[in-house]
Amino acid sequence: MAFPTAVNSQITDSVSQVNTKVLGDAPAVATGNLMIATSQALSNAAHNATTGQQNSTITAQAALTQGVNTLYSVDTAAAVGTEKINSK
């Protein structure tokens, strides 16, 4: 038993147990917070990668369309031949 105080020993024991529980739970809580932060960061990275792929696909489609338009607008033997092939 600890030194005598004006507070009931059951109260001091209860406070000590609660403090011990908080200290005991701290590593688990910290690990849980780390896992949540890590999973959120990885989710954001995956989302950003998907968005980047979608944007580069749109850019590639635009470049392809512009290239085809350029081929059709240039009056060369290749363009004339392509038009004749496609018109059949």
Burial of 19: CB neighbours in 10 Å, binned 0-12, 13-18, 19+: exposed
Categorize the per-residue pLDDT at 2 as very low, low, confident or very high, splitting at 50, 70 and 90: low
> Span 70-86, mean pLDDT?
76
Instruction: Please give the pLDDT value at position 18.
Output: 80
Instruction: Please give the pLDDT value at position 79.
Output: 66
Q: Examine the pLDDT at 1 and tell me if it is beyond 80.
A: no
Average pLDDT of the chain to the nearest whole number: 85
- The whole-angstrom separation of Cα 9 and Cα 1 is 8
- The whole-angstrom separation of Cα 80 and Cα 74 is 9
How would you classify residue 5: left for phi > 0, otherwise alpha for psi between -120 and 50, otherwise beta?
beta
